[in-house]
Structure 1
Amino acid sequence: MPTLFFFHGLESGPHGSKYQLIKKAFPELESPDFQNMDLQQRIAKASEITQGLTGVTLIGSSFGGLLAARLYSMYPERFKSLVLLAPAVHTDEGELVAELPPASRIRVIHGKSDEVVPHAKVAEFCKRFGISLITVEDEHRLASETSQQTMLAALDEVYTGA
């Protein structure tokens, strides 16, 4: 029974560079294909995939981060923790997120030089829920070595409890 999912962004697919990086460290990682789907279609598919599961950790990148936050807010009983990577929560859909995990079970990582999702808006989102924002010297894709190590460390903390 899968307990670790990666939700990709709008412009990437289910097996992009972030997925590849995480899959090496966590071979049990699964990544549904949400290509060419709007948010409502993604929510419907993700709801179906996680139905009946508990203790799930979601990693969401950009639009996938918005999806992970929305899904947690809708079905908190299914999820143990979240790792949100430059989440697209600056939208009206982000305002619909009503609940997130406690601070000990969520990590939000965002690049200081992100030109796709405004850093300040993600900082406001985190403040609304009383969670810390991990800011890295990077852009939206979070492709630097430091960002990648930060992602893996954050996932290790909330998923394996290290």
Structure 2
Amino acid sequence: MRSYIYLHGFASSPSSTKAQFLNHQFQQHGLCLTIPNLNQPDFYSLTLSRQLQQVATILPTDTPVTLIGSSFGGLTAAWLGERHPQIDRLVLLAPAFQFLNHWLPKLGAAQVEQWQKNNALLTYHYGEQRQMPISYQLVTDIAQYDESGLQRSVPTLILHGQQDEVIPIQSSRSYAALRPWVSLVELDSDHSLSNAQAEIWQAICHFCHLDDQRDRKITVS
């Protein structure tokens, strides 16, 4: 048996459009997709380290794992793949590589300084559909992670929109260029990838051999 786990993005939830679409597709193939809520125990204290620890507790130790991650969940998945040998396949949807380099300049120096001073920044949470505070610890924590250290040769599929306004596609291009085990598929889409669901699922099926698995189940039954 193989385990499949999906990690939603920053300020998102297991009920996001991508999460529910993929969950439905996996169900149609007779497969279970585990979707943890990465907002637990609260959004305020969210950090990359906390997400890594949370997901590590649900990783099976006796079966191979395919980890699918979106945006910040994709960055989390990449670091988990580096650390846990049972993860032998990664699918990253618009992964948030160089997260701080893209996000902090958009906030501006004054707002970042205020965030550091108050230890709280109001951020729109798409899952909750309201503004919620998040601690500056998010910044200090992620600054400890040097992405050049992501060197374990886990077969990896990246799907990234060419019009991504949140995490520019160049971040995935640069990541893939230095790692021959990474395949990058560029999509005519933005960060949400909402208009590319069919292409995403087709790519996942091919990369994960899901149609082969369904055919075997039909033959056995």
Percent of residue pairs bearing the same amino acid type: 30
1:24 match: 24
For residues 9-31 of structure 1, give each alpha carbon's deviation from its aligned partner in whole angstroms, at most 9, with x where no partner exists: 10210221011111111021110
Q: State how far apart, in whole Å, the 2-side matches of 1:62 and 1:137 are.
A: 17
Q: Given the alignment of the two structures, is residue 78 of structure 1 paired with residue 86 of structure 2, yes or no? A: yes
Aligned length: 156
Gaps of 5+ in 2: 100-142, 212-221
Q: TM-score, with normalisation over the residues of structure 1?
A: 0.88
2:138 match: none
1:9 match: 9
CA positional deviation for 1:107: 1.1
Q: State how far apart, in whole Å, the 1-side matches of 2:68 and 2:165 are.
A: 21
Q: What does 1:1-162 correspond to in 2, within 5 Å?
A: 3-27=3-27, 28-35=32-39, 36=43, 37-75=46-84, 77-91=85-99, 93=145, 94-102=147-155, 106-130=156-180, 131-144=182-195, 147-160=196-209, 162=211
Tell me the amino acid that sits aligned with residue 18 of structure 1: K
Q: State how far apart, in whole Å, the 2-side matches of 1:62 and 1:151 are.
A: 14
Q: State how far apart, in whole Å, the 2-side matches of 1:3 and 1:51 are.
A: 8
For residues 76-122 of structure 1, give each alpha carbon's deviation from its aligned partner in whole angstroms, at most 9, with x where no partner exists: x21131110000112463333222413xxx21000001111121121
Give me the CA root mean square deviation. Answer: 1.8
Gaps of 5+ in 1: none
- DSSP-derived class of the 2:67 partner: strand
Larger radius of gyration: 2
Do the aligned partners of 2:14 and 2:20 also contact (CA within 8 Å) in 1? no
Q: Which runs of 4+ in 1 moved over 6 A?
A: none
Do the aligned partners of 2:81 and 2:88 also contact (CA within 8 Å) in 1? no
For residues 113-138 of structure 1, give each alpha carbon's deviation from its aligned partner in whole angstroms, at most 9, with x where no partner exists: 11111211210001111223111111
Tell me the amino acid that sits aligned with residue 37 of structure 2: D
- DSSP-derived class of the 1:50 partner: coil
2:115 match: none
Q: State how far apart, in whole Å, the 2-side matches of 1:69 and 1:153 are.
A: 21
Q: TM-score, with normalisation over the residues of structure 2?
A: 0.66
Q: State how far apart, in whole Å, the 1-side matches of 2:171 and 2:77 are.
A: 17
Q: State how far apart, in whole Å, the 1-side matches of 2:53 and 2:62 are.
A: 15
- DSSP-derived class of the 1:158 partner: helix
Cα distance change of structure 1 residues 96 and 123 upon mapping to structure 2, 3 Å threshold? same
Q: State how far apart, in whole Å, the 2-side matches of 1:81 and 1:153 are.
A: 16
